[in-house]
Amino acid sequence: MQHPQQQAYQAFLNTDYPQAAQLYEQALKVEPENRRLYWYWGLALLLQNQATEAQTTWLLGVMQDEDTEAATGELVTVLETEAQRYAQAEKLSEVVQIRSVIQELAPVAWDNLLKLYETEIELNVYTGDRLTEFGFLEYLQAQQPLPISPEELIAFTAKVVESDPFHPNSVALAKACLGYIQTIPQAEQYLNAIFPKAQKIAETHKQPGLAIEFSELCLQLDPNNLKMLHDLTGLYQNANRYQKSIETALHYCTLSANQSLSDRMAANQQLLRSLMTAGGYWQEAEDLFYTQQELLQELIATYPLEQLQVPHIMLHNFFAPYFGDNPAQMRKVQNQLGELSQTKLQLIEQNRVSRYQEQHQNRKAHQRLKIGYLSSCFRYHSVGWLARWLIQYHDRDRFEVYGYFANCDPVIPDTLHDWYLEHFDHTYKSSESVEIADKIAADEIDILIDLDSVTSGINLYVTILKPAPLQISWLGWDASGIPAIDYYIADPDVLLEEAEEYYAEKIWRMPQTYIAVDGFEVGVPTLRRDELDIPEDAIVYFSAQRGYKRHPETTRLQMQILQQVPNSYFLIKGIGDETSIRAFFEELAEAEGVSRDRLRFLPISRSEAEHRANLSLADVVLDTYPYNGATTTLETLWMGVPLVTRVGRQFSARNSYTMLRNAGITEGIAETPAEYVIWGVRFGTEAALRADVAWKLRQSRHSAPLWNARQFTREMEKAYEQMWEL
């Protein structure tokens, strides 16, 4: 027959805690001085969620010995042993209960506290508030000695940042951890653990400000790390810290001066992007752009595959359409970069590419065509606002629709993101290119549509691998130039017939328009003329674009329009550095004889709906060139505001043109700089002309192809089926 203590422990091991508690109580009647019985009796009560009774039982055991400290230490040892046993059995809830008690008994048992927090992280119940509950964070910040190694602290910090990166205590922990790093391997461990998480915070969760805090900590350990400087420059840009971005990019360029061609190009591109994002630094940016073009030609000529940083190298031609309207040359360079990148990446991923190709060859026909949409912009973003109608109207009897969310998991509330999650038949999120590509292949997608083009490195990587047998580019910046993309969606107006000669992709022209929407949500106006000190009878011109698009030649034409239209004002809005953009406009205004008092610089709206509502303040919108508006043009036309645009030859210089034509409007379309000014002046001086165009735009909502997303969806579906049959 088993001893009562053995019977009790066996019941405890069998997780029969009520029976175990009863047996331990009986055993104590036989051995009242055996403190170990108190420890396990209390533990059996604790695991029944009877914490108060457990505490009372343990107190009784402690009071059996005059040396209460020794008795408490004995209890902690038993609890530690059991916590380890439960951890090995992966009974994590029990581990949390036991280690919480240990921490109460031994408040500075930091090794136990770290194991407690790590277990909570595994259970997804950890929050950043926990770091201050026992004074652990304060202890670290004081740089007190720890009973754990720096390596263990770094590993713990990485888990905390991964679990709850948005809590201020996570940044504080990462900062305090720096003080315990003493060796190069420890520094490398920290960088390898924390920096990728900073990138994820920026790319996937769209929180560049927080990502900067973590990245700057990493930079303290390696101030001349080119990779970190590259990414940190981009973070400053995305966080609207323009001067810091330029300063960091300049340092990055200095360090890269004696590095490889690829490194120098990457640094130049970041500096160029910093200048363009800020706006107002046009001359400096233009000089750097032409330097970058020379480096691109050197790269293409020397074909240094070993140096190529794929897919980032494809971004180095991004600003070409902002500086000029030369599509043949721009597309030639882009196509060469696409071919180089595909050659390099398919060589690296040759096993994966071969597997996909074999799968395509053995593909069985599906009852419904499987259509996959790939984007990082299924959220509050221009692409998100425009693509939703196609997803909404897809015929689910003929098409099964998949959404692949690349680096798209916003932290702040985003109802458009939620809408997409509800309206796709299937969704998949990842920040890893190969994971997305493998999922697309596993889903046996027939046709993959890339919505982001060269604005997303993940999309470029995925499409180069060609996980779907038919791949299409639509809606983004322009065609990527990747040979693995089969078709580029256009229409009869947005690309000239000559474009067939210089696009690597086959151009598929929709019957009328390459984009259509049913409309936009419109909020309540928040701007008034009197608040802006603009007379009620004044003519208000308006332009809302990023600094990227503020070409000085077009801005000069806009100032000439103002100069010729008395009592006119210009509202200027867009993301960029307020000081440099203001100086840019005021200098050009002065050169054209326009008083700076006629310029108004508006803050960014709190929402897209508010921005659209405030368009009603404008009499005329002046478009940019050689890079037109796209979503901004659609919003302008939807709000019934006349638009002046200059039409060029490249895709980005013909967006507003095709949208106007598909809204039934010919007024405001200029072929030359002189015509741009003439239309701007006419709209400003001819009230009847403005009223006529505004009336036509209102009427177009009921009949124009631009506002018939359902019909456009049917045309896109027909195009998909025809492409699939070819």
Determine the pLDDT at residue 236: 97
CB under 8 Å to 588, separation ≥6 — which residues?
A: 552, 555, 556, 559
Same domain, 570 and 503: no
Residue 397 sits in a domain whose CATH number is 3.40.50.11380
Same domain, 563 and 430: no
Does a structural domain hold residue 151?
Answer: no
Q: How many domains does the chain have?
A: 3
pTM above 0.85, yes or no: yes
Q: Is the pLDDT of residue 1 over 60?
A: no
Same domain, 678 and 616: yes
Determine the pLDDT at residue 122: 95
Does a structural domain hold residue 254?
Answer: no
pLDDT by residue (tens digit) across 22-66? 988 888 888 888 888 889 999 999 999 999 999 999 998 888 877
CA angle 334, 337, 340 (to 5 degrees): 150
Does a structural domain hold residue 272?
Answer: no
State the DSSP code for 469: S
Determine the pLDDT at residue 2: 59
Same domain, 372 and 470: yes
Residue 622 sits in a domain whose CATH number is 3.40.50.2000
State the CB neighbour count (10 A cutoff) for residue 498. 11
Which among 221, 141, 146 has a CA at the least distance from the CA of 181?
221
Lowest mean per-residue pLDDT among 12-21, 227-236, 318-327 = 12-21
Domain boundary among 106, 123, 143: 106
Q: How many residues does the chain have?
A: 726
CA angle 595, 599, 605 (to 5 degrees): 175
Q: Which two tokens stand for residue 511?
A: 């019957």
Residue ranges making up the domain that contains 433: 349-509
**Percentage of residues of the chain with pLDDT beyond 90:** 85
CA dist., res. 92 & res. 97, Å (int): 9
Q: Is the pLDDT of residue 547 over 80?
A: yes
Q: Is the pLDDT of residue 408 over 90?
A: no
Residue 81 sits in a domain whose CATH number is 1.25.40.10
Same domain, 379 and 493: yes
Same domain, 376 and 481: yes
CA angle 319, 322, 326 (to 5 degrees): 95
Average of per-residue pLDDT across 90-114: 93
Computed over every residue of the chain, the mean pLDDT equals 94
Domain boundary among 106, 131, 164: 106
pLDDT band at 156 (very low <50, low <70, confident <90, very high): very high
Same domain, 545 and 688: yes
Which among 325, 228, 324, 233 has a CA at the least distance from the CA of 273?
233
Does a structural domain hold residue 136?
Answer: no
State the CB neighbour count (10 A cutoff) for residue 408. 26
CA angle 17, 22, 23 (to 5 degrees): 95
Average of per-residue pLDDT across 2-20: 85
CA dist., res. 197 & res. 577, Å (int): 28
pLDDT by residue (tens digit) across 217-252? 999 999 999 999 999 999 999 999 999 999 999 999
Same domain, 483 and 550: no
Does a structural domain hold residue 48?
Answer: yes
Is 391:423 a contact under the CB 8 Å cutoff?
yes
Domain boundary among 72, 106, 140: 106
Same domain, 493 and 543: no
Does a structural domain hold residue 411?
Answer: yes
pLDDT band at 502 (very low <50, low <70, confident <90, very high): very high
Residue type, 576: G
Does a structural domain hold residue 607?
Answer: yes
Average of per-residue pLDDT across 424-438: 96
Does a structural domain hold residue 469?
Answer: yes
Determine the pLDDT at residue 555: 98
Q: Is the pLDDT of residue 425 over 80?
A: yes
